[in-house]
Amino acid sequence: MAAFLAVVVILAGANVLNNRLAVPAYVYTSITASAVLVLIGRSAGLSWYDLGLGRETRAGWALLLAAVVAAGYLVGAALPATRRLFQDQRADGVRPRDALYQTLIRIPLGTVALEELAFRGVLFGLISQRYGVASATVVSSLLFGLWHVLPVLETVKLNSAAGTAYRMKPHLIVVLAVLASAVAGVVLCEVRRRTGSLVPAIALHWAVNAFGFLTAVAVRGKWQANT
């Protein structure tokens, strides 16, 4: 229980720092928090396998899941009914080097690694060790949903479709976003459980975020020339 509470406290602190108090240090905060969380998990008796970091990486599953996400975004960008969902101001004026930074550093190290190690690694391992996989899936996924409250509040300011819906029904949009994130957490937990590794879940999570960002940039058509 002490380890579980320590993880929750660290995640709460990292969330506030990353979304409010120290946004420029996003990647550094996430890397530091990730390392601390792994240390907590190991100190609590979790093996590398319990953390999803065993020798078996399931690279084939990782590549397949990333490819499926990429195909889904291509279809979404091509269809007029779904293209408007990618109208995100954060995709405006992006330089190629900035896109590389986002997809290869900020998203994988600042977002995906921390969230997967925290929710599908340490929390999943701690809870499943004591209460079973079903409880681990439910609790970690609910916490994953709550983790997204502050990011959602930022997203609705910059995504025109989400922003319009938020202005109409703000509380409902936040609740739906939390629930959607929780459902995504369940899917990622199941990927982690079935493969026995965090690598496919990391690949899936990275693909959703990175390819989503690149699709938004492509849809808005506002790449900025490198100078």
Name the residue ranges covered by the structural domains of the chain: 2-220
36-78 confidence digits (pLDDT tens)? 999 999 999 999 999 999 989 999 999 999 999 999 999 998 8
Per-residue pLDDT, 11: 98
Dihedral angle sign, alpha carbons of residues 121, 124, 130, 134: negative
Q: Rounded mean pLDDT of 195-199?
A: 97
What is the mean pLDDT of the segment spanning 24-42? 98
Q: Which letter, b or e, does each residue of 177-188 get, where b requires 16 or more Cβ atoms within 10 Å of its Cβ?
A: bbeebbebbbeb
Query: What is the model's pLDDT at position 70?
Result: 97
94 or 142, which is more confident?
A: 142
**Mean pLDDT along residues 126-149:** 97
Share of the chain above pLDDT 70, in %: 89
DSSP state of 223: B
**pLDDT average, residue stretch 134-163:** 81
- Statement: residue 24 has pLDDT above 50: yes
Rounded CA separation 53/69 (Å)? 23
Q: Could you tell me which residues are beta bridge partners of residue 94?
A: 223
CA distance 8 to 187: 21
Range 20-48 average pLDDT = 97
User: What are the tens digits of pLDDT across the range 76-121?
Assistant: 988 888 888 787 667 777 888 999 999 999 999 999 999 999 999 9
Q: Which range (10-19, 35-44, 116-125, 147-156) has the least confidence?
A: 147-156
pTM here is 0.90
Bridge-partner residues for 88, per DSSP? Answer: 159
Classify residue 73 as exposed, middle or buried by CB count within 10 Å of its CB (0-12, 13-18, 19+).
buried
Q: Is the pLDDT of residue 143 over 80?
A: yes
What pLDDT shows up at residue 227?
41
- Cβ atoms of 201 and 76 within 8 Å: the answer is no
- Check residue 105 and give its pLDDT: 97
Token pair for residue 82? 């779904």
Distance CA 98, CA 95 (A): 5
**Selection from 127, 156, 114, 108 nearest residue 14 by Cα:** 114
